């Protein structure tokens, strides 16, 4: 028997024994903590290091629904080292979002969102505090007020009409199936660009660049970052190229938004249609920057770009999910 085979046959049982002992210690600590904190919600068994991550599968929403049926509307999971409270009832959500909203209002620091969204300078990622309240007031009073949303109605109606005409034309002229995914994607980009920037970028180099950046941004924000849940595995994102992709998208969007803000500051004319509201998100934020009384604090260009970027992402998700639902109805139901 060679030395290497002897060492391997000797070391493997020792390594397995050490892992088993670590597992037992982890379970002992878990049991002790459970007896100490009796008010914790029910929780399924978890593995060392992984916690309950292995139980999520490809469709986490379905898994969470099944677990909620077994463990109740309030359930404690562990994603790696992070405890996560899963609420699956309307009453529980009301208690958290309305009754105890201040106590539970903070947000975890997620590295992917932190790097992509200007170090958490927007309402969706900023920690709860004075800055968050100020940014929230900008969004509620100036960007998403009922009057402002109504002012963009003509944009939505016009783009919807153009989309329907395109579907009719392609369905009559082409012998092939109409690519609704591509049409909905184009519609989404056009609505976002007109609401946020005041004009469409379709057919331009900037338009192609914006579409690619937006698609990559949404992919990265929806990806799993192992370092957020298992800290000592943060190096994985460097090895698999995720860190490089995040840096590329962050720099690309920053450069794109720099050019947009600069154009608006120079009073660039976008030939907006007659009767359409001439104010868009960028113009509104620049106006707030000039008049600090409107915001209550000094709004920098970084603040403007952060707010714009997250508004783009939120608009994109709202429109995409809406049309995914329509596609689902078209596929499964005869209309």
Residue 297's pLDDT band (boundaries 50, 70, 90)?
confident
Query: What percent of the chain clears pLDDT 90, i.e. is strictly above it?
Result: 8
Domains and CATH numbers, the chain: 3-108 (no CATH), 130-332 (1.10.630.10)
Q: Encoding tokens for residue 51? A: 């916690």
Averaged pLDDT for residues 274-287: 73
- Is there a contact between 294 and 284 (Cβ–Cβ < 8 Å)? no
Of 15-19, 79-83, 142-146, 294-298, the poorest mean pLDDT is in 15-19
Averaged pLDDT for residues 108-136: 85
pTM of the model as a whole: 0.74
- Which is nearest to 152 in space by CA: 104, 97, 93, 194? 194
Q: Which residues contact 326 (CB under 8 A, 6 or more apart)?
A: none
pLDDT at position 213 is 87
- Is there a contact between 242 and 223 (Cβ–Cβ < 8 Å)? yes
DSSP 139-195: IIIIISSHHHHHHTHHHHHHHHHHHHHHHHHHHHH-SSPP-HHHHHHHHHHHHHHHH
pLDDT at position 251 is 92
pLDDT at 92 over 80: yes
DSSP conformational letter for 3: H
Per residue in 172-209, pLDDT (tens digit) is: 876 777 787 788 878 888 888 888 888 887 778 888 88
**Mean pLDDT: which of 37-41, 67-71, 173-177, 231-235 is highest?**
67-71
Of 6-15, 44-53, 119-128, the poorest mean pLDDT is in 6-15
pLDDT at position 270 is 47
Bridge partners, residue 86, by sequence: 75
pLDDT at position 247 is 92
Averaged pLDDT for residues 304-322: 79
Per residue in 208-238, pLDDT (tens digit) is: 888 888 888 888 888 888 888 888 888 888 8
Q: How far is CA 169 from the centre of its chain?
A: 35
DSSP conformational letter for 41: P
Neighbours of 142 (CB within 10 A): 17
Of 137-141, 144-148, 292-296, the poorest mean pLDDT is in 292-296
Quote the mean pLDDT of the chain: 80
DSSP conformational letter for 244: H
pLDDT at position 28 is 58
Which burial class, exposed, middle or buried, applies to 80 when counting CB atoms under 10 A from its CB (0-12, 13-18, 19+)? buried
Q: Which helix (H) or strand (E) holds 87?
A: strand 82-87
pLDDT at position 315 is 75
Query: What percent of the chain clears pLDDT 70, i.e. is strictly above it?
Result: 79
How far, in Å, CA of 127 to CA of 120, rounded? Answer: 8
- Which is nearest to 250 in space by CA: 285, 216, 208, 292? 216
3-state helix, strand, coil in the chain (%, to 5): 65, 5, 30
pLDDT at 10 over 80: no
φ, ψ dihedrals at 138, nearest 5°:
-60, -45
Q: Encoding tokens for residue 289? A: 């920057």
pLDDT at 90 over 70: yes
Q: Which of left, alpha, beta for 46 (phi over 0: left; psi -120 to 50: alpha)? A: beta
Neighbours of 214 (CB within 10 A): 21
pLDDT at 248 over 90: yes
Neighbours of 126 (CB within 10 A): 22
Of 151-155, 278-282, 290-294, 306-310, the poorest mean pLDDT is in 290-294
Q: Which residues contact 70 (CB under 8 A, 6 or more apart)?
A: 44
């Amino acid at each position: 028997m060679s030395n290497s085979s002897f060492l391997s046959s000797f070391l493997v049982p020792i390594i397995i024994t050490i892992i088993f002992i670590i597992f037992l210690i982890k379970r002992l600590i878990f049991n002790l903590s459970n007896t100490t904190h009796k008010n914790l919600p029910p929780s399924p068994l978890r593995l060392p290091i992984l916690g309950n991550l292995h139980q999520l599968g490809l469709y986490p929403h379905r898994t969470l629904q099944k677990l909620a049926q077994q463990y109740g509307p309030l359930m404690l999971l562990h994603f790696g080292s992070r405890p996560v409270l899963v609420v699956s009832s309307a009453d529980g959500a009301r208690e958290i979002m309305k009754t105890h909203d201040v106590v539970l209002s903070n947000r975890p620091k997620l590295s992917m969102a932190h790097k992509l969204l200007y170090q958490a300078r927007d309402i969706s990622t900023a920690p709860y505090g004075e800055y968050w309240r100020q940014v929230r007031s900008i969004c509620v009073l100036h960007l998403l007020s009922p009057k402002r949303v109504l002012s963009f109605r003509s944009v939505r109606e016009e783009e919807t009409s153009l989309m329907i005409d395109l579907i009719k034309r392609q369905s009559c002229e082409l012998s092939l199936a109409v690519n609704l995914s591509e049409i909905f994607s184009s519609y989404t980009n056009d609505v976002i660009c007109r609401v946020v920037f005041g004009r469409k970028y379709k057919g331009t180099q900037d338009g192609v660049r914006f579409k690619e950046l937006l698609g990559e941004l949404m992919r990265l924000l929806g990806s799993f970052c192992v370092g957020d849940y298992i800290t000592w595995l943060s190096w994985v994102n460097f090895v698999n190229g995720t860190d490089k992709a995040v840096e590329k998208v962050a720099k690309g969007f920053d450069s794109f938004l720099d050019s947009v803000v600069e154009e608006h500051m120079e009073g660039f004319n976008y030939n907006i249609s007659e009767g359409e509201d001439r104010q868009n998100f960028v113009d509104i934020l620049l106006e707030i920057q000039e008049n600090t009384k409107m915001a209550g604090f000094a709004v920098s260009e970084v603040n403007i770009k952060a707010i714009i970027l997250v508004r783009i992402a939120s608009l994109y998700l709202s429109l995409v999910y809406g049309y995914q639902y329509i596609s689902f109805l078209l596929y499964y139901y005869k209309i």
